[in-house]
Structure 1
Amino acid sequence: MASGVQVLRWEGARFLRMRLVLSTLSGRSLRITGIRGQELEPGLRDFEASFIRLMDKLTNGSRIEINETGTTLYYQPGLLRGGAVEHDCHPHRSIGYYLEALLCLAPFCKSPLKAILKGVTNDQKDPSVDTLKVTALPLMKRFGIDGEDLDLKIVRRGMPPAGGGEIIFSCPVRRFLKPIQLIDSGKIKRIRGVAYSARVSPQMVNRIVDSARSILNKFLPDIYIYTDHMKGANSGKSPGFGLSLVAETTNGTFLSAELVSNPSGQGLPVLPEDLGMNCAKLLLEEIYRGGCVDSVNQSLALLFMALGQQDVSKVQMGPLSPYTIEFLRHLKSFFHVMFKIEIQPKEERKGGEKVLMTCIGVGFSNINKVVT
């Protein structure tokens, strides 16, 4: 750990989660000031405080200081411990918000992580647990994070606003990450998905499936969308429904899209037919964007490339999202890693604009892992 390194300083509430994750991995302390200092309700929000508590549970020896107004945060990271962790996620953000951070941190814990997260499983703000299961886990396997210990199980589904869902995420630890070369995404060979509902009529999921297939069947014959209608205690505390779709290519790339109904009592009611069709169109748009990593997992791929062994990694991606661009800036601040970005010539493209991301890994070693 870089204990003697100068404290990194930031201002404002943006990218708080990103900064805490990179601080923990790099061992560099940070101080964030002016957190919503100009707003009527200054300081950290409840969901951010909940995330900080999760970081504290994941580590041993972290030092966290927050001033009385919540506008200044000092974080000195401890060692990632892993093991069994249970956390009640704040309902303002879904479990996916917390799970995305665990995906980044779990491989570098001292012992294999088994995290039980409770709260909202599917909402309109964050990637759902369904999408992360079918896209992020296969991506982690590319970097050598694989085995039966890598698993994500949805025990109960929880829709907003009240939640009530529960998932179990298990992840093995690794001492090093493999460098990767993903420069050809291949052709789409099949589409899979899950239409889910909780505390509404079971017919909702069938209507979603029929409307999504009415679009996708024009492009591909191999389509199967599962239906998941939760009942009783497994259906959470609020009604709702949604659809998560993933397209798999011949080279093992997974491209995803998802839509969720409006929370109970918020906004106009959403017809399942409209949701299914719109989600299918979003998937086709993601396929057009293309690349070997979908837009949801761009930052996860770039992080593992940067932390890999001191060898060249290359990944072709679709257009970089604004979040990904900011993530690249933060990687430079915390790890001094810079990527070579090459835009694919127009005549060589299939679909939208593609960029080839290249870097040499920093040779990050999991010093927490017990050598056996």
Structure 2
Amino acid sequence: MGGGWIVIDGSMGEGGGQILRTAVALAAVIGRPLRIVNIRARRRPPGLRPQHLTAVRAVAAISGGRLRGAEVGSTTLEFIPGRIKGGRYRFDVGTAGSVALIIQALAPVLAYSDSPVEVELTGGTDVPMAPTIDYMREVFARVLSMLGYEIEIEVLRRGHYPRGGGRVVVRAPDPPEGFRARSFVERGYLKGVYIRSHAVRLPGSIAERQARSAASLVRERLGVVPEVEIEAYKPHSDPHLGPGTGILVWAVFDEAVMGGDSIGRKGKPAEVVGREAAESLLEDLGTGAALDRHMSDMAPVYLALAEGDSTIFGAKLTSHASTILELLSIMVDGFEYRILEGGLDSPFKAELKGAAVAPR
């Protein structure tokens, strides 16, 4: 795709960092210069924060792009993309900023690389207000695989708020050069429910209590015995900065993967952490949807770039999802969407017309 500058109002819709990350990623993929104004205008403090800067600088580096206004606190950013190149890259948030949200920005870009690409990220792996790194590994990456995109996410060290220091390697060993359309409406047969619970720089019994609480609720509601993995460490062999805990509960179906996660904090009982993750998954499963609340706003990015039409049944049309659909319709020529059923903060079905975006 060619053309002049795309101008995006960063205060549109939910007005958060996801607009920035998605817009910069899309600009790199389609090769259009981008100007974003009013970045996080309604947030306090407004403007770019360190984790946002890491995301846009990472996209710019991998795409050979140029940035203007890439500073903490800036409310305007200009990005002129170049060519997306493979190789090895390394980026450090410098805080406990979410690695998962940086992966969210990078993943569409890596798919259009001219050769295999590997990115090492340092920051927060399990932090508030973002999907956990286990969610990205076990749900996000599996859904992308269904679109013909194999992405590998390896956790070298976990990082929790406020210390961060987590290390994650993301690989796209065989970039697909585009995506295939796929509908996510029917889930199919339930193959199994899985739990991964971890505790770092804390007693391993905390991870076990989280898992027991989640497993008990899954057995009670679904009549399924989950497969449980406990990640805990002896004090002398724990490589993490910590302390911190977290849990992911995910369900694998023939045609879908859905998950719910939660992280611990000081004073929050382990049983509550485990129950929160299980309840999040069970609530989304109860809607009959094939995409959970997180993937309901992440999957449309790939389906918009795909060749062909898709229909999705999402557990919740969040403000994030609604905003991303509108952003895609502005930035991606040829993409169209139509909400078939449901509304904001409710389960929804949407029809997406892919734009068949090929490598430049």
Q: Judge same fold: TM > 0.5, yes or no.
A: yes
Unaligned runs of 5+ in 2: none
1:178 equivalent in structure 2? 180
Counterparts of 1:358 and 1:42 in 2: how far apart (Å)? 34
User: Whose Rg is larger?
Assistant: 1
What residue number does 2:259 align with? 256
Counterpart residue number, 1:160: 161
- 1:227-263 CA deviation, whole Å, 9 max, x = no partner? 00145565421201111110122x231111111012x
**C-alpha distance in structure 1 between counterparts of 2:43 and 2:267, whole Å:** 32
Contact 1:8–1:28 (CA<8 Å) still a contact in 2?
no
CA shift digits 1:339-366 (9 cap, x unpaired): 122128xxxxxxx964332233212111
Per-residue deviation, 1:173: 0.8
Instruction: State which of 289, 292, 295 in structure 2 corresponds to 1:294.
Output: 292
SS in 1 for 2:289: coil
Q: Which amino acid aligns with 2:274?
A: G
Would you say how many aligned residue pairs link Structure 1 and Structure 2?
348
Quick one: distance in 2 between partners of 1:40 and 1:334? Answer: 27
Q: TM-score, normalised by structure 2?
A: 0.88
Using the alignment, how far apart are the partners of 1:72 and 1:209 within structure 2? 44
Matched, 1:358 2:351: yes
- Give, in whole Å, the separation in 2 of the partners of 1:224 and 1:183: 26
CA contact (8 A) 1:155 1:234 kept: no
SS at match of 2:111: helix
CA offset digits 1:12-54 (Å, max 9, x no partner): 5732212212222222222223446798966422222222221
* 1:242 alignment counterpart: 246
Q: Does 1:209 align with 2:211?
A: yes
Q: What amino acid sits opposite 1:242 in the alignment?
A: G
The RMSD of aligned alpha carbons is 2.5
- Note the 1:337-356 alignment, pairs <5 A: 337-343=335-341, 354-356=347-349
Task: Answer yes or no: is the 8 Å Cα contact 2:258–2:292 preserved in 1.
Answer: yes
TM-score of the aligned structures, taking structure 1 as reference length: 0.86
| Structure 1 residues without counterparts, runs of 5 or longer | 263-267, 345-351, 368-372
Alpha-carbon distance change, 206 to 323 in structure 1, aligned in 2, over 3 angstroms: same
Match of 1:332 among 329, 332, 347: 329
Mapping for residues 35-114 of structure 1, pairs under 5 Å? 35=39, 43-60=47-64, 62-66=65-69, 70-114=74-118
Cα distance between partner residues in 1 of 2:309 and 2:46: 44
1:121 and 2:125 are equivalent in the alignment? yes
- Structure-2 change in CA distance of 1:319 and 1:27 (3 Å): same
In 2: Cα distance, 1:39 partner to 1:179 partner: 35
Instruction: Indicate the percent of aligned positions where both proteins have the same amino acid.
Output: 21
The CA distance in 1 between the partners of 2:206 and 2:156, in whole Å, is 21
Q: Which amino acid aligns with 1:184?
A: E
Letter in 1 for 2:313: Q
